[in-house]
Each structure stands twice: as structure tokens, then as C-alpha cells.
Structure 1
């Protein structure tokens, strides 16, 4: 069942979308603002994001940019903004499709189907899909981690943190960037999130968690994934 994250601040419209999409056998989760959308996208990994641009906290264009910092999830914009310039900005920011309000439900569902199909066929370009170390393997396409040949069970948040670091392997990533991408804007200065989840990942993956070789902390600076 395709999972859709609906990012919309009008409760009546959200309710109508939930009813219509569930009747068509979609699983629906709703976010009333950008910060909640980023958190839910990190925690629950939807198959498609349906995004209104006029949100009460973060502009929809900024939500797209932040999602694109760590996720390839298809984004279908649904907005009352009708000018070509607005559409170009959204597509340049990383949206996959743009539908103006008002719209027909059949057309919306067709665009959701098309976006989901493209995502299924897509593979990361210019990137390594599989990372192999001496003790564990990370498969970015299958979203699978194995240690000494045995599957490792990660929570959605653990996976998104690991994926964010693996995709930037060899690069020092600041705590603010990781917090925004994995937990969303509402995480603020909660760097304790990173310490807790990095410790969990090390316990699950590193041969010697007290002396990690791959998930490296640089105190006061950030984190880096090394092969």
C-alpha cells in the first residue's frame, strides 16, 4: 500500500483528501505545518509527499529544499500559486510535479501514481548504492543493514541518521544540519538527540563501539562516516 504524507494546513481539505485517498487504498498521514512534515518524513519514510506551499511556519519551497538534503521521496506540490515563476521555483527546488488548486481527484491520484512509479524505477545517480565495511554493509536502495551477514534492525530515525551520514561519507556534517534533516526545524538545539542515536548506531554496527572506526564524532564540530 502506497503511503502518502499530506502536508496541508486546511483541516477540511485534509479530511477530504484522507477520505478520498483511503477509499483508493492509499495509506495517509497528515502534517499541518513544515516542521511536522519534516519530522514525519524522517520517522515514517512515506512513498510520496503531497505538499501545499502556503504553510504557517516554513514556506513549502524551504520544506522541499530540506527534504532534498537527505531524501529522494517524490514530492507532488498542490498549490493555489499559479504563476509559471512559482512552478519553476518549486521544480528547481526539487519537486517532482506541480498541480494547481482547484484540481480533480482523478488527476491528483494519477499524478501520485506516476510519481510513485518513477521512484520505484529510479536509482541513485552518481552515488554508491551499497557501502561495505569490514563488519557491516549498508544497502541504500533496499534500506537494509547487515552486520557479519545478519540483518540489523534499525528504527526509522536510526536509518535516516545513518543514511544522511553515509551519503556524505568522508565529509564532516555539522549537528545543526543533521538535526534539521533528520528531526526537522522543531528540534532546535537538541544535540542530545544526536548523541543518543549515534551511540545506538555504534552499539549496533561498530566492532568496538567505544573506539568507532566508521561513525566518528568530532566534539563541538559534528559527525563523519568513514569507510
Structure 2
């Protein structure tokens, strides 16, 4: 068992699920704290150094969505929603509110720990990302200083919009980005909710970076929610 330094807060009112998650984290070497209420979560975040939060939405005092919004007022810590709500609109709402990932119950310990590892890698990258001149995922690399994109060391020609879209994904490696968020960031807040332009842009970019655009390796579709740049 590897001992990890990242402390995780489990916010779950169902004792069986809370115990299952606690056991999984203990086996993986993660230190953790638990609470069954939204207020308990906020109090713990104020008093303890927490690196990542696993958050149920259906809490007894107030909705977990409000916890996300409150935390995002002062912290960028990774938040993984763990919920029985499996509707796409619920997932998109949580992600738009500031959650980094969404795991639907029931789930396995393997999947839970994989999502946690991705979120932690994203957390560690974020600390120095502004100082980095380039980032790579597999054979796909972006050079921020030169505004160039490479695939297997060969330079790719990208349009300004394609490059901006890739920058957005590389700034959020492993994180699910909703279509609403991407449209706002790429086209501006006043663009509206039409996603046709984004779908066209995404198809164009995938033709350039994917060997098989129908089975993408890099930019993955989260059905009904948005897209994610795969984390190695």
C-alpha cells in the first residue's frame, strides 16, 4: 500500500457508501476525513487542509450543489461528485457549478480511485501550468509560447479557433468540460446556447489529431454533458 499525502474529504450521508469509500481510500493509502452533512463539509474545509472532496448531492441539510458553489468562491480544489442522480442535466449542472468530475452510483473502488488519481494529477499540474511553456498528452503536444501544436513531433496546422479550443482542454487535462462552458470560453458569454458551431469545430479538430475520429484517443465525448481531454 502506497502512502499518499493528499487528504480527501468524504461528504456522504449514507453510512454504507461512506464506509465503502473510506475503506477504498484506506487501502489505497489516502488520508481522509468524513462527514454526512453539507454544513459539516464546509466546517471541515475551513478547519482542515483538504486536497480533494468527494461530494454526494443529496445531503440532509442542504443540496450538495450549493456546497460546490460556496467552495468555488474561495477554492479551486478538485471536487468529484458521487451521486445517484444520473440525469445528464444534473451532471451538467454540477460541472457548470464547478465540480471537476461526476461519478454515478453504484461504482467500483477501481473506478473511484482512477477518477481520484486523475483529479490529483490535474491538481498538481495546475500549480505550475502558467509557468510551463508546453504540455503533452501522449503524442499530442502544445507549445504555448510559439502557439504551435505537434502530433508525434510533426507540426500540425490549426486554425486560431482550433488552437484556442486545444488550449482550453490542455488547461483542464482530465477534467470534464460541459458544452455550455466551452461555448462561453471559446465564443464569448454573449454567444448563446447554440452548440452547432462547437460540434463543427470539434469535428474539424478531431480530423487533425485523431487517427480514427470515430474512436477518439485524445478528446473524449462525455455523452449528454460535454468533452474531456484524456489524461494518461
Query: What TM bracket, shorter-length normalisation?
Result: 0.5 to 0.7
Output one character per residue of 1:128-180: Cα deviation in whole Å (capped at 9) or x when no partner: xxxxxxxxxxxxxxxxxxxxxxxxxxxxxxxxxxxxxxxxxxxxxxxxxxxxx
1:4 equivalenced with 2:8 (yes/no):
yes
Find the counterpart in structure 2 of residue 184 from structure 1: none
2:25 to 21, 24, 43: 21
CA pair 125-25 structure 1, distance change in 2 beyond 3 A: closer
Find the counterpart in structure 2 of residue 60 from structure 1: 64
Offset of 1:116 from its aligned partner? Answer: 0.9
Offset of 1:125 from its aligned partner? Answer: 9.2
Find the counterpart in structure 1 of residue 41 from structure 2: 37
Find the counterpart in structure 1 of residue 97 from structure 2: 93
CA pair 120-103 structure 1, distance change in 2 beyond 3 A: same
C-alpha separation in 2, matches of 1:125 and 1:26 = 25
CA pair 30-76 structure 1, distance change in 2 beyond 3 A: same
C-alpha separation in 2, matches of 1:15 and 1:122 = 31
CA pair 59-125 structure 1, distance change in 2 beyond 3 A: farther
Q: TM-score by structure 2 length?
A: 0.52
Offset of 1:124 from its aligned partner? Answer: 8.9
Taking CA–CA contacts closer than 8 Å with sequence separation of 6 or more, which of the two structures ends up with the larger relative contact order? 1
Unmatched runs of 5 consecutive residues or more in structure 1: 127-227
Offset of 1:13 from its aligned partner? Answer: 1.4
What is the number of residues matched between the two proteins?
A: 126
Equivalent positions of 1:116-155 (< 5 A) are 116-123=120-127
Offset of 1:45 from its aligned partner? Answer: 2.2
Offset of 1:14 from its aligned partner? Answer: 1.1
Find the counterpart in structure 1 of residue 115 from structure 2: 111
Offset of 1:18 from its aligned partner? Answer: 1.1
C-alpha separation in 2, matches of 1:13 and 1:86 = 20
1:70 equivalenced with 2:87 (yes/no):
no
C-alpha separation in 2, matches of 1:28 and 1:89 = 27
Aligned partner of residue 25 in structure 2, secondary structure: helix
Give every structure 1 segment of 4 or more consecutive aligned residues whose post-TM-superposition deviation is greater than 4 Å: none
Aligned partner of residue 59 in structure 2, secondary structure: coil
Offset of 1:123 from its aligned partner? Answer: 3.8
Aligned partner of residue 82 in structure 2, secondary structure: strand
1:49 equivalenced with 2:53 (yes/no):
yes
Aligned partner of residue 122 in structure 1, secondary structure: helix
